[in-house]
Amino acid sequence: MNEQVTIRQILVITDGCSNIGEDPVDVARQARKQGIVVNVIGVIDKNEMGQQGHDEAMSIADAGGGMCRIVSPVDLSATAQMMTHQTMQMTLQQAVNQELLHVMGKTTEELPPEDRSRIMQVVDKMEEEVGLQLVVAVDMSASMKEKIDTTREAIRDLTLSLQVRLGGSRVAVIAFPGQGDQTTKLVQPFADEIDMRSMEHSLQARGGTPTGPAIAHAIRLFSSDSDRLLDDDVDGPRRGYA
């Protein structure tokens, strides 16, 4: 079963409030309806995000069924890895609870301690073996200029941490805003490894903060990649799990 299951996540890295395009909270809600979890990391340095930016980050994660953390740049790498792995566990735990409710009329929390422990061992094993598709959407507004190097390193470290999993992990990267009048730019299509030279060239600070369009772009990436997998998979289609 695990080989046919793919968990889909969006990780938004931003340091402020959206000011271009559609409401990112509404778009995150649309992602969740499609089985895609949206996590948000708010990166603060000398300047705080402000209450509006903080509230928006929390609301995006809540609407997307994910987690939100506000951290300093030095903690970005560890936080990105922690959130990605914890969200996988959360997604699998929700799926297991749904199955237990259907079969036994109980959730994991209602089981005896010994049975609950066995269930959690199964969840841990599944986390290592299921497939993962992750889109990292990086805020490249002008205020992120001093955080770009740290952000590149965090994405590289996250990708390396995922490569040790037994299950396949494919990562894509979107920058927002894009070049010129583009609201977003695809920096890295879904791949097993990140092209750091492309990241060096493409992640440049500029313009405003179109967070909503970035999440919408990420959703479209999942759809196009799923179509490609259906064409390539001779053993049968993969399905999302959220």
Number of domains in the chain: 1
Q: What is the pTM of this model?
A: 0.83
217-236 pLDDT, tens per residue?
A: 999 999 876 545 434 443 43
CATH code, domain carrying 206: 3.40.50.410
Q: Hunting for tokens 């297991």 — which residue is that? A: 96
Confirm if 41 and 73 have CB atoms less than 8 A apart: no
pLDDT of residue 63: 97
Q: How confident is the model at residue 190 (pLDDT cuts 50, 70, 90)?
A: very high
Judged by DSSP in three states, 71 sits in: strand
Of 125-139, 184-198, 206-220, the range with the highest mean pLDDT is 206-220
Range of the domain at 45: 2-240
Whether residue 177 is preceded by a cis peptide bond, meaning omega within 30 degrees of 0, is: yes
Classified as helix, coil or strand, 151 is helix
Pseudo-torsion of CA 57, 58, 64, 65, nearest 10°?
150
What would the mean pLDDT of 61-75 be, rounded to a whole number?
Answer: 95
pLDDT digits (tens, 9 = 90+) for 137-181: 999 988 888 898 899 999 999 999 998 888 889 999 999 998 888
In the chain, which residue ranges form alpha helices assigned H by DSSP? 24-33, 50-63, 76-104, 113-129, 148-163, 196-202, 211-232
Share of the chain above pLDDT 90, in %: 48
Measure the CA–CA gap between 104 and 97, rounded to whole angstroms.
Answer: 10
pLDDT at 101: 67
